Amino acid sequence: MKSIYQSLAEIEKNNESAALCVVTSSEGSTPRHVSSKMLVFPDGHFIGTVGGGEVEQRVINEAKMALDDGRPRLLHYNMVDPSRGDPGTCGGQVEVFVEPILPAPLIVVIGAGHVGKAVVHLAKWLGFRVAASDDRAEFCNADSLPEADAYYPVTMDELPKHIKIDKRTVLILTTRGSATDAAGLSPLLDSPAGYIGVIGSKRRWATTVKALKEQGVSEEKIAKVHSPIGLELNAETPEEIAVSILAEVMMIKERGTGKSMKGQ
């Protein structure tokens, strides 16, 4: 069986997820000593142990929630009286720190024109994993976009067949026009992507919305889209527009307000 450390190295290498659970405090009679570890995977299987029994099952449940919300937690358990909800009768107390190990979020830049290239560059600099997609293969390759981690020269509607999209995935459409968006957006709206942004003016987006509704796409799904994309910075150049777009992505990811720091 692989050790926890071997598994952590593989998780990082493969951009996978798990939660590391470590006993940080143990007083009195408890099942495991300080520094005991357990690694919990998204499907609930685990290696290592923090004590077995009810306390371990509670930690596993918390670990799965930590993987879902991305937040660490410090758990404290008394092990005295099950009638009070304690997970055991050993008589001691134990604390367990749960740390979600998550890959950097994936940004998928759809449309490899001037703005798309700028978004790829800035997103990579910010530490995101970056995939580029464009139905024009001559624009979607390592020569044209050397900073991307992966390339998908396919039409937008085909993209979900090639990329695993989850709620941490960011989809940024820097596409050529409304016709392209209307033709390919629907499958993306069916995905659990955490952010979907479409470049363009209010008028362009209104045209796209009209076309999507004619396809039978619901208002609820359409409302998932951020368009016009980005924060209002009066941006003009591709690089400035990329800053505007990724500022909005970061604001949502980190639960920011987007307000000026002056006076905060």
Burial of 82 (0-12, 13-18, 19+ CB in 10 A): exposed
DSSP labels, 147-176 = T-SEEE-S-GGGGGGTS---TT-EEEE--S
CATH architecture of 106-253: 3-Layer(aba) Sandwich (3.40)
| Predicted confidence (pLDDT) per residue in 108-133, tens digit | 999 999 999 999 999 999 999 999 99
Which residue blocks in the chain are alpha helix, DSSP H?
4-13, 53-69, 114-125, 178-189, 202-214, 219-222, 238-253
Q: Tokens 């609930």 identify what position?
A: 44
Per the structure block, which two tokens stand in for 133? Answer: 């997609």
Of the CA atoms within 13 Å of residue 230, those in its CB half-sphere come to: 23
* Cα–Cα distance, 127 to 173 (Å, whole number): 19
> What pLDDT does 259 receive?
87
Domain boundaries, the chain: 4-101, 106-253
Asked whether the beta carbons of 159 and 128 are under 8 A apart, the reply is: no
Cα-to-chain-centroid distance, residue 187: 19
* Cα–Cα distance, 7 to 19 (Å, whole number): 11
Per the structure block, which two tokens stand in for 224? Answer: 């998932």
Per the structure block, which two tokens stand in for 132? Answer: 């580029």
As a residue count, the chain comes to: 264
Query: Residues with Cβ < 8 Å from 67, sequence gap 6 or more?
Result: 17, 18, 19, 40, 42, 100, 102
| Predicted confidence (pLDDT) per residue in 48-100, tens digit | 988 877 788 889 999 999 999 999 999 988 765 555 544 555 667 888 999 99
Query: Residues with Cβ < 8 Å from 105, sequence gap 6 or more?
Result: 128, 129, 168, 169, 170, 194, 253
> What pLDDT does 98 receive?
97
pLDDT in 10s for each residue of the chain, 264 residues: 689 999 999 999 999 999 999 999 887 666 668 898 999 999 989 999 888 777 888 899 999 999 999 999 999 887 655 555 445 556 678 889 999 999 999 999 999 999 999 999 999 999 999 999 999 999 999 999 999 999 999 999 999 999 999 999 999 999 999 999 999 999 999 999 999 999 999 999 999 999 999 999 999 999 999 999 999 999 999 999 999 999 999 999 888 888 888 866
* Cα–Cα distance, 172 to 6 (Å, whole number): 35
